[in-house]
Amino acid sequence: MDGEGSTMRRIRFYGPTDLAMPLQRGRAIEIVERFDPEALPTHAADLIELHNVQQFVEAGLFPTEYTDAQRVRAKAHASAIRSIVARGFANINNINIRERIAGVDYDYHADLLELLARSGAFERCDSAAMLSALNATGVKLRTMLANKRLVRAYDTQLRDTLVSDVRNAEHLIRKHFHGDYINEIYLPGTLTPADARKLLEGYVDSADANLNYIELIETAPVRSQTGVDAKLKLRAKRRKEQMTEEFFRTNAGINTGCEVRLSDTQDDPVKVEMDGMVATFTYGRNWLDDTLDEPSILNNFQHLFGFADLSVLLIFPAYPADLGVLERVLATAGRRAYRVGVAFHTADMISLLQTRFYHHYLASKGIDLEAVIAWFFQEYLPEEFGALNFSFTPSGGGSSYLQKARHLFAEMESVAMQFSLYAENGELDRDLLAITSDPALYKELPSLLAGKYIYAGEGEEISGILHTIFSDQSGLTYINDVLNAESTAELIIHNEVTYSDFANYQRPVVDHLITLGVLEDTGTRVQFANPEQFLILRSLFKTQACSYYHLSNRGRAEADSMVARGWMTRRSSLLTPAEASYYNYFLNKVDFDNGPELRNKYLHGSQANGEGELAHFRTYIIALRLIVALVIKMNDEFRLADEEGRARD
């Protein structure tokens, strides 16, 4: 073992897959080989190191050249080590605790508490002796709160410690609201909701508050047991606004945004220009003037403004694939938070500006966008597909934007229910609709098509394929300073990469993908074996779904094969789960606590009025965007179902 003064070089077992395992394994085996069962260490650091060494042996992490006899001897030593570690910690008591654990390094603190708990030290030692010794050794409160038996043994004392400093509110925030905090946190049973409320309130007002944690309080659900009520949420909201304003007062930041313009001379429907981080979309007046009929107006949302991709999957949801590395690692998200990043905010900003622009442009031509939506349900669906009895009532021309927003949310819920009843029954019975009062569940809206969407299965094989091919964290993205890319897919598609280009440690992964039929080695380059398969995999990674009926016949055959292999599943719904989550984020609290909850607030009359009509106008534009996107999805459903029906006939 290493001496007490060299704890930084001590053995630490992080698991068999840890990158440092090979180096640590050699030193661990060395300690096992020179282990003396007659020598009983007394200092906790020595005992903890033996405990970690024992785990290497029990995991079977021996050198490849080890003989069977050496393995048997090492395992026997591991058994003796376990006994010595137990005896060493069993001898710790009130009198010697401070001396025995003094100087234990930070990396060993969690193990220290676990071994103290196993030995019954928390029951043998009183709180004054134990907590004083742990504090002297530098064991942090957050580490103590991760040990259930310690918290239970010293409940009252830990409660007093928690409430003594408002900064300790961060432990409550991690426990109740933080979505990515991986360590369990146990709070003292004597900590009351009133204690929690006081701590959180003090934290919101403190000068040292973390903006990310303030935002977690703002978006936390109202629950008495966590200390969060509406007043605290409002307090956190105002504190966040204050902190944000103060930050940008002293930090210039980066100029980002978008502009929308109308050109009288431009022949192209749209031109996009970038000036740094600012995008400018210029639309040709000639194109817009020539597309003023109802079908063309709705098509412009889908194709000109790009509300959906070629498979009619909406571009708006916060897809995990769009999150950058820093957004994934550094962002602080709540347990029920909708994880958004730069890509989401960019699409949200651009589409809102496009909707606002088009709404004004159409109004200048005497066209009400809501009337176009009504045309879709009341004229287009019955005439084109024989879908009768659908209705949509535009808001009145003299209504305020508050009234328009409320009305539009109600009408959007109505058409969602109308489509649901039609898909379930093959017709829309208005009497049945009249007695259906449940709110629309966007994740449960049915489809007119069987197995409409393809989703990745739960097996490790398909998740490994998607990660290796498309993730920026894949081990195949970098070969050298010339051959590298953001993903393996980009590397292979944009470069002629031969098998020999890959490093030795990368080739087993390439071999596995070749065996699975994802890649192939032609002799001159490594490439994707099946274009249809690649397109499906790319869609699964990018949008978490693939639209089966938008695939070619060869694509459908490949999808069927992938389903048969257990890589994928097919399910039916109007919206993909990602699209439905997007609607729930904006409209309600079904899935998330950090959304604007617009439908609930406006229909219940609890919307904020501080910004006046301008705030209601923005909400109205959001509602228009949501219902237009819903129209795009429904139109795709009817069109595909009609095509499939004709193909069967």
The full DSSP string for 492-541 is HHHS---GGGS-TTTHHHHHHHHHTTSEEE-SS-EEES-HHHHHHHHHHH
Q: Which two tokens stand for residue 296?
A: 């063309």
The reported pLDDT for the residue numbered 7 is 39
The reported pLDDT for the residue numbered 1 is 43
Query: By C-alpha distance, which of 598, 596, 615, 622 is closest to 352?
Result: 622
Question: Do 171 and 239 share a domain, yes or no?
Answer: yes
Do the domain assignments include residue 66?
A: no
User: Which H helix or E strand runs over 281?
Assistant: strand 277-284
Q: Is 61 helix (H, G, I), strand (E, B) or coil?
A: coil
Do the domain assignments include residue 224?
A: yes
Do the domain assignments include residue 583?
A: no
Measure the CA–CA gap between 421 and 598, rounded to whole angstroms: 25
Give Cβ neighbours of residue 617 (< 8 Å, ≥ 6 apart).
401
Supply the DSSP symbol for 219.
T
Contact by Cβ (8 Å): 50, 85: yes
> CA dihedral defined by 499, 500, 504, 505, rounded to 10 degrees?
-40
Question: Do 364 and 323 share a domain, yes or no?
Answer: yes
Q: How many CB atoms lie within 10 A of CB 144?
A: 21
Tally the C-alpha atoms within 13 A of residue 298's C-alpha that lie toward its C-beta. Answer: 22
Contact by Cβ (8 Å): 577, 361: no
Contact by Cβ (8 Å): 415, 436: no
Q: Which two tokens stand for residue 396?
A: 């009145």
Question: Do 301 and 417 share a domain, yes or no?
Answer: yes
Strand-pair category, 519-521 with 526-528:
antiparallel
Do the domain assignments include residue 244?
A: yes
Question: Do 410 and 308 share a domain, yes or no?
Answer: yes
Do the domain assignments include residue 372?
A: yes
Measure the CA–CA gap between 373 and 386, rounded to whole angstroms: 17
Do the domain assignments include residue 356?
A: yes
Of 253, 272, 305, the last residue of a domain is: 253
Question: Do 391 and 326 share a domain, yes or no?
Answer: yes
Of 552, 571, 590, the last residue of a domain is: 571
Measure the CA–CA gap between 375 and 288, rounded to whole angstroms: 19
The reported pLDDT for the residue numbered 56 is 79
Question: Do 245 and 311 share a domain, yes or no?
Answer: no
pTM: 0.77
Question: Do 402 and 470 share a domain, yes or no?
Answer: no
Question: Do 392 and 467 share a domain, yes or no?
Answer: no
Of 537, 571, 605, the last residue of a domain is: 571
Contact by Cβ (8 Å): 425, 640: no
470-521 residue pLDDT tens: 999 899 999 999 999 999 999 999 999 999 999 999 999 999 999 999 999 9
Low-confidence ranges of the chain (pLDDT < 70): 1-9, 15-26, 61, 63-65, 180-182, 252-255, 327-331, 608-611, 649
259-309 residue pLDDT tens: 999 999 999 999 999 888 788 999 999 999 999 999 999 999 999 999 999
Do the domain assignments include residue 390?
A: yes
Query: By C-alpha distance, which of 432, 416, 428, 424 is closest to 448?
Result: 424
Q: How many CB atoms lie within 10 A of CB 471?
A: 17
Measure the CA–CA gap between 578 and 316, rounded to whole angstroms: 9
Question: Do 338 and 403 share a domain, yes or no?
Answer: yes
Number of domains in the chain: 3
255-272 b/e (C-beta count within 10 Å ≥ 16 → b)? eeebebeeeeebeebbee
Contact by Cβ (8 Å): 492, 526: yes
- Residue 349 belongs to domain spanning: 291-421+620-648
The reported pLDDT for the residue numbered 334 is 73
Do the domain assignments include residue 614?
A: no
If DSSP states are collapsed to H, E and C, what string results for 78-137? Answer: HHHHHHHHHHHHHCCCCCCHHHHHCCCCHHHHHHHHHHHHHHCHHHHCCHHHHHHHHHHH
What residues pair up with 568 in beta bridges, in sequence order? Answer: 456
If DSSP states are collapsed to H, E and C, what string results for 416-443? Answer: HHHHHHHHHHCCCCHHHHHCCCCCCCHH
Please report where in the chains the tokens 């449940």 appear, as a residue.
438
Q: Is 550 helix (H, G, I), strand (E, B) or coil?
A: helix
Strand-pair category, 277-284 with 256-263:
parallel
Question: Do 228 and 334 share a domain, yes or no?
Answer: no
Measure the CA–CA gap between 28 and 233, rounded to whole angstroms: 51
Phi and psi of 399, rounded to 5°?
A: -75, 150
Please report where in the chains the tokens 């032609």 appear, as a residue.
522
The reported pLDDT for the residue numbered 32 is 74
Measure the CA–CA gap between 11 and 569, rounded to whole angstroms: 45
Question: Do 417 and 458 share a domain, yes or no?
Answer: no
Contact by Cβ (8 Å): 489, 470: yes
The reported pLDDT for the residue numbered 2 is 44
Question: Do 304 and 371 share a domain, yes or no?
Answer: yes
The reported pLDDT for the residue numbered 578 is 97
